[in-house]
Structures are given as C-alpha cells and as structure tokens.
C-alpha cells in the first residue's frame, strides 16, 4: 500500500519509514500553524522568523508523537511474538506493518491499547508542563504554548484512535473483547468492521460538512479523505478476515493443479502457439527438463503469452521457447506446504495469475488464481447454507 517511502532509520531494530504523503501534511501543518505563532512570537509583525521556527518544531513534534504512538504498539507486539516489520508515517498518521494477527484476544487487546496509552501519556506530560510553566513573556512562555498544542494534538490522537471501529485501535480493543467473549475471531471482526465503516462515513461526511460551513476547504478535504480511508480499510479488513478464515489450514498443495501440461525448451515459438495456445484455456506453462512425460521433471522456467511479445511473428519459426521463457532464476515458485492465504497475496502480484509449485527442483504442480477463487467461492457458498 505504502510504496514510495524512504527509510529514516531504525528504532529497536524496526525500520522507520516516511511516505511522501507525510510531507504534504507536514507542509500543511506549518502553513496552518505559522500565523498562530506569529501572533505570540512576532511582536505585532505579520511574519518574523520565530513563527516559522515554532511551526516547523510543532510539525516535527506531531510526527514524533505519531511515531511514539506506533512504537507503543510495536514494542508491545514484539514482546507478544507479533514482530513488526516496519513503521510508516503517512498522510493519515502512522501504520505498523505486521506479518500476522495477534495470537489471541489478550495479545490483541494489549497491542491495541499501547498506542493510545502512549499518546495520552505524552498529552498528560506536555499538558502538565504547559500548566506549570510561568505565564510571563519570553522563551519559556513560548515553550509552554508549544507544549499546550502538543498536549492537545496527542489528546486528540489518543481519543480519536479509541473510536470503537476496526481497524482503529478502539475497534481492535472491542474486537479483542468480542473475540474473548465469543471465542471466535470472524464475527468479532465483522461487527467491529461495520462500526469502522460507520465511523469512516460519519467522520468523512461530518468533517466535510463542518469544514465547508467554517470555510476551511483544506480541513474539509482532509476529513473527507480520512473518512474514505477508514471506510475502505474497514471493508478491506473484513474481506481479508473472511479469506483468512476460509483458507485457514489450507495449503498450496491442497489447491494446486497436479495434472498440467509442460513445455520443452526446444519447441519453436510457432509450435508453442499452435500446440499450447490456440484453442486452449491455459495461458501459462512450466518449461521442464527433461521434456514432458519424464517421471521427475525439473522446472527450468515459465512460458506465457507475455513472453511472446518481444518477438515478431517472423521470428516465431526461428526462436525457441528456451530463449523466450522467463528463466527459473526470475520465477517465483511456491512450496506445497505454503499456507494458501500467503499464496493468494503472491498470486495477486503475479502478472500471469499463476505460479509453479516446486518441491526442491522438482515441479509438482501449478497454482492458478482461478483455483483459489473457485475454492473460496465454494466455501463461501457452503457457509451460506
């Protein structure tokens, strides 16, 4: 989802990444905050330098706050055997990427609570400083002003994230609770994802209305985008949870095609088209050696219609499959033991919608996106009865 990110560094061995959209929010924050600080720091001037400095400092502090919130999730997750792959800051906040769900409702609850807890702790600390600092003029008063804003930003972040819609933190807390009470993950995900969609719709439409009425077009657009993002993420999370439950315990070996046609590398492209492509349903084939009916064919590459594009029809009679195929070094192969849910993701990235299944060098099957889709449809139909 968040490609086009740069890695800033690592905290507790977790790569910290910045998505380009964060820069947009960073810029908007500075533009919005600068006049506020000019009022306090510029002695009546419209622009000085202190206002820009304070606005930049505040925007950086907001970024650090988001990062600390995500680190709160990540550090607790790491302790509960759910390692975090990376943390990315983007336009709508931060996201910690994990490979798999929490092992149980208790872990899910603890991981979800940790982020808002960090935000609310920062809000309390900064708020206390703002309250205790003397109200006189000078740098300390400005620091107290910044601390007050930081407290407000973190309080909003903490409370907003505790809204009970999945995949927000509050939604995860609620899901963990329902999961614990009902002992089933899928109904808990369904309920909290519905609330998440409602939160997204309300927030998007409500924010848009308030923004338009108060003539804040940027805030209106941002609120609408956040709402849309939440709505879509909630819908996607539920679909993902359904797929995960349907494919639970199913491996690539269970769904792959065990009977498949293979191609020899010596075939000319013309022969390949005539024998394998025209009038046939399949569009991708494993290239094996020794050819065809050998007992232990070793996979040496994949040949699909896309591989033909580099050649003109004149070349078809001269070039062989071995020259046109994608060689094994560039082919992603699946192991028969791989969970089908993981294969679904890999297949969605494969341009041909199929991947060879190999046990060591030995080709044992072909898994097509279609095979997974049919299995999922059948399982879903069964559940409806």
Min dist CB 172 to Zn ion, Å, is 8
Task: Collect contacts of 291-297 with beta carbons under 8 A, ≥24 apart.
Answer: 291/262, 291/264, 291/265, 291/266, 292/262, 292/264, 296/362, 297/262, 297/362, 297/363
Nearer to Zn ion, 30 or 117 (CB): 117
Min dist CB 95 to Zn ion, Å, is 9
Min dist CB 69 to Zn ion, Å, is 5
Give the whole-angstrom CA distance, residue 161 versus residue 154: 10
Cβ neighbours of residue 120 closer than 8 Å, sequence gap 6 or more: 154, 155, 158
Nearer to Zn ion, 161 or 304 (CB): 161
Nearer to Zn ion, 161 or 262 (CB): 161
Question: Which of left, alpha, beta for 83 (phi over 0: left; psi -120 to 50: alpha)?
Answer: beta
Nearer to Zn ion, 72 or 207 (CB): 72
Min dist CB 70 to Zn ion, Å, is 7
Min dist CB 96 to Zn ion, Å, is 8
- Name the residue whose CB lies closest to Zn ion: 115
Nearer to Zn ion, 18 or 84 (CB): 84
Nearer to Zn ion, 164 or 365 (CB): 164
- Residues within the interface to Zn ion (CB under 5 A): 115, 161, 169
Q: For the purposes of burial, counting CB atoms within 10 Å of the CB of 215, is it exposed (0-12), middle (13-18) or buried (19 or more)? A: exposed
Cβ neighbours of residue 322 closer than 8 Å, sequence gap 6 or more: 265, 266, 287, 301
SS3 content of the chain, % helix, strand, coil (to 5): 60, 15, 25
Min dist CB 115 to Zn ion, Å, is 3
């Amino acid at each position: 989802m968040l490609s086009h990110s740069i890695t800033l560094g690592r905290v507790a061995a977790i790569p910290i990444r910045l998505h380009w959209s964060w820069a947009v929010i960073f810029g908007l924050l500075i533009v919005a905050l600068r006049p506020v600080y000019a009022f306090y720091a510029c002695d009546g001037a419209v622009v000085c330098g202190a206002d820009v400095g304070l606005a930049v400092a505040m925007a950086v502090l907001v970024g650090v706050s988001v990062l600390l919130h995500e680190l709160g999730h990540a550090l607790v997750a790491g302790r509960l055997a759910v390692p975090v792959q990376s943390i990315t800051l983007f336009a709508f906040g931060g996201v910690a990427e994990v490979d798999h769900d929490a092992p149980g409702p208790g872990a899910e609850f603890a991981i979800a609570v940790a982020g808002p807890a960090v935000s609310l702790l920062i809000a309390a600390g900064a708020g206390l400083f703002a309250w205790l600092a003397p109200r006189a003029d000078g740098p300390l008063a400005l620091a107290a002003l910044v601390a007050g804003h930081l407290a407000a930003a973190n309080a909003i972040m903490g409370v907003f994230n505790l809204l009970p819609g999945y995949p927000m933190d509050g939604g995860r807390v609620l899901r963990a609770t329902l999961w614990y009470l009902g002992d089933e993950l899928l109904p808990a995900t369904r309920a909290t994802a519905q609330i998440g969609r409602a939160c997204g719709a309300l927030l998007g439409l409500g924010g848009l209305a308030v923004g338009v009425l108060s003539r804040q077009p940027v805030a209106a657009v941002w609120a609408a985008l956040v709402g849309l993002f939440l709505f879509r993420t909630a819908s996607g999370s539920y679909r993902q949870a359904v797929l995960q439950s349907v494919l639970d315990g199913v491996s690539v070996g269970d769904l792959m095609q065990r009977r498949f046609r293979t191609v020899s590398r010596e075939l000319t492209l013309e022969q390949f088209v005539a024998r394998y492509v025209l009038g046939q349903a399949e569009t991708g084939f494993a290239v094996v050696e020794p050819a065809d009916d050998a007992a232990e064919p070793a996979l040496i590459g994949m040949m699909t219609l896309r591989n033909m594009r580099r050649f003109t029809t004149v070349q078809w009679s001269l070039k062989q499959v071995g020259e046109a195929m994608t060689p094994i070094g560039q082919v992603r192969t699946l192991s028969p033991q791989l969970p089908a849910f993981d294969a679904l993701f890999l297949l969605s990235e494969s341009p041909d919608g199929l991947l060879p299944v190999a046990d060591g060098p030995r080709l044992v099957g072909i898994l097509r996106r279609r095979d997974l889709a049919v299995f999922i449809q059948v399982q879903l139909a069964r559940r409806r009865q």
